[in-house]
């Protein structure tokens, strides 16, 4: 029953998205203007978080300037929504006119030399339209990493829209294996990494000073770029005018294997900080950790709050494999606290057997996947 309801919801959403995408952009922007009024003045979407981030990120600006930036964010966010709807049916000619790329001479020259490229991007402009890059780099396989949605129907819908211009979506958990596989097939890759997101607390390995915030950052993309020897580009996106964007491809380094640990990530955030000072970003509505000191203090307090019985429980299991010239964390973590909070309802013995079978099958698949990745790395 639940699956049937989800399919009905998917069908309705698909039909609505398709019908909206057929409308001309000027009419879609009229809807965007109405949505802006609702979000900015009625719902006041995440106003407290946005205002806190703006005041702490731009202390040199006046209150009037910050209010202007806030309302620009609301307006841009609504435009982003309708522009993403348009992506379902937009033509090649129209998307190439509205989403342009510069710096492609050097970009395509590197691809012609059979070196793959990693493009670091931020949630700036309309990053969904950057999926049209295959039109500008025709002699490569353009890929983008993404987090699959839990709902398989809506995941299929978003994947269809994102792959419509020729880019290939790689699930995050399969990223390294797929990139190695495509590399072995001989065609140079262009991989997009949108890494301006906060990692989960157990995956925090590095912090940067970003817009006056002590910020934990993702580092998985850097490990992939360095290990596979991809050239490091930063995609600087600007909004030329409403409905028109440009992505300037800036070459940062071709010798990524020789770069120090976290150097790529640090350089990326320096470029991103420059971009954010001249553009509006969806991450203006993100929550930040206060500082790494407060973060680790919070973790320590949680650990110290455990009873003696809890302290005797085994710590999370983490296995780390050190490879030559690179370091990968293949983590299988058993978090006792998380398991205690979860609820598993066993109504009969068949459910129990089924649950155990699924768990064992999943674990075997994970271990096989990690072993395959390990063997592929050794064969590079």
Provide the pLDDT for residue 277: 63
Beta strand residue intervals within the chain, DSSP E: 99-102, 117-121, 141-146, 168-171, 189-194, 207-210, 213-216, 231-241, 244-253, 320-323, 326-329
Predicted TM-score (pTM) of this structure: 0.74
Asked if residue 104 and residue 25 are part of one domain, the reply reads no
Number of independent structural domains in the chain: 3
Is residue 309 included in any domain, yes or no?
Answer: no
Is residue 48 included in any domain, yes or no?
Answer: yes
Q: Give the domain-ending residue among 47, 69, 86.
A: 86
| Structural domain span for residue 186 | 92-285
Q: Give the domain-ending residue among 63, 86, 109.
A: 86
Asked if residue 267 and residue 156 are part of one domain, the reply reads yes
Task: Round to whole Å and give the CA distance between 119 and 264.
Answer: 11
Asked if residue 100 and residue 81 are part of one domain, the reply reads no
Asked if residue 356 and residue 328 are part of one domain, the reply reads yes
Is residue 335 included in any domain, yes or no?
Answer: yes
Asked if residue 243 and residue 106 are part of one domain, the reply reads yes
Provide the pLDDT for residue 121: 94
Asked if residue 161 and residue 45 are part of one domain, the reply reads no
Asked if residue 216 and residue 68 are part of one domain, the reply reads no
pLDDT tens for the chain, residues 1 to 380: 677 787 788 888 889 989 999 999 999 999 999 999 999 999 888 888 899 888 988 899 999 999 999 999 999 999 999 999 999 999 999 999 999 999 999 999 999 999 999 999 999 889 999 999 999 999 899 999 888 888 888 888 889 999 999 999 999 888 888 898 888 888 899 999 998 888 887 788 899 999 888 889 999 999 999 999 999 999 999 999 999 999 999 999 999 999 999 999 999 999 999 887 655 554 444 555 456 666 666 666 655 655 555 444 433 333 222 222 333 333 333 333 333 334 444 455 555 555 555 555 556 555 656 565 555 555 54
Is residue 290 included in any domain, yes or no?
Answer: no
Is residue 304 included in any domain, yes or no?
Answer: no
Is residue 269 included in any domain, yes or no?
Answer: yes
Provide the pLDDT for residue 331: 33
Q: What are phi and psi of 326, to 5 degrees?
A: -160, 165
Longest dimension (CA), the chain: 67
Is residue 295 included in any domain, yes or no?
Answer: no
Asked if residue 238 and residue 159 are part of one domain, the reply reads yes
Tokens coding 368: 């096989």
Provide the pLDDT for residue 317: 31
Provide the pLDDT for residue 367: 61
Asked if residue 12 and residue 134 are part of one domain, the reply reads no
Asked if residue 250 and residue 204 are part of one domain, the reply reads yes
At 124 the three-state DSSP class reads strand
Asked if residue 336 and residue 242 are part of one domain, the reply reads no
Helix or strand holding residue 4 (H, E) = helix 2-21
> Of the candidates 194, 158, 176, which has an alpha carbon nearest to the alpha carbon of residue 372?
176
Asked if residue 67 and residue 43 are part of one domain, the reply reads yes
Is residue 315 included in any domain, yes or no?
Answer: no
């Amino acid at each position: 029953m639940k699956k049937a309801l989800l399919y009905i919801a998917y069908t309705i959403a698909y039909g609505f998205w398709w019908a909206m995408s057929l409308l001309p952009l000027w009419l879609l922007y009229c809807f965007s203007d109405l949505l802006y009024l609702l979000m900015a003045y009625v719902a006041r979407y995440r106003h407290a978080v946005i205002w806190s981030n703006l005041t702490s990120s731009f202390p040199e600006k006046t209150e009037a300037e910050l209010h202007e930036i806030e309302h620009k964010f609301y307006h841009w966010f609504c435009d982003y929504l309708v522009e993403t709807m348009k992506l379902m049916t937009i033509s090649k000619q129209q998307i190439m006119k509205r989403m342009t790329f510069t710096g492609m001479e050097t970009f395509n020259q590197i691809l012609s030399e059979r070196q793959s490229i990693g493009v670091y991007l931020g949630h700036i402009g309309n990053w969904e339209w950057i999926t049209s890059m295959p039109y500008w780099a025709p002699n490569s396989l353009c890929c983008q990493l993404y987090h699959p949605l839990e709902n398989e129907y809506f995941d299929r819908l978003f994947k269809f829209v994102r792959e419509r211009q020729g880019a290939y979506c790689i699930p995050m958990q399969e990223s390294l294996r797929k990139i190695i596989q495509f590399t072995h097939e001989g065609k140079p890759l262009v991989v997009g990494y949108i890494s301006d997101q906060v990692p989960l607390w157990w995956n925090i390995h590095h912090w940067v000073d970003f817009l006056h915030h002590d910020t934990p950052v993702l580092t998985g993309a850097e490990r992939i770029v360095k290990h596979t020897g991809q050239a490091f580009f930063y995609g600087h996106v600007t909004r030329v005018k409403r409905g028109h964007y440009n992505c300037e491809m800036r070459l940062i380094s071709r010798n990524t294997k020789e770069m120090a640990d976290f150097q790529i990530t640090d350089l990326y955030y320096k470029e991103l900080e420059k971009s954010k000072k001249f553009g509006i970003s969806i991450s203006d509505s993100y929550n930040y950790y206060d500082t790494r000191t407060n973060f680790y203090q919070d973790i320590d307090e949680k650990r110290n709050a455990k009873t003696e019985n809890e302290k005797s429980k085994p710590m999370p299991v983490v296995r780390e494999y050190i490879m030559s010239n690179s370091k990968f964390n293949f983590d299988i973590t058993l978090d006792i606290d998380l398991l205690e909070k979860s609820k598993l309802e066993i109504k009969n013995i068949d459910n129990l057997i089924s649950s155990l079978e699924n768990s064992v099958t999943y674990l075997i698949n994970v271990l096989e996947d990690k072993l395959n990745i390990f063997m592929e790395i050794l064969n590079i």
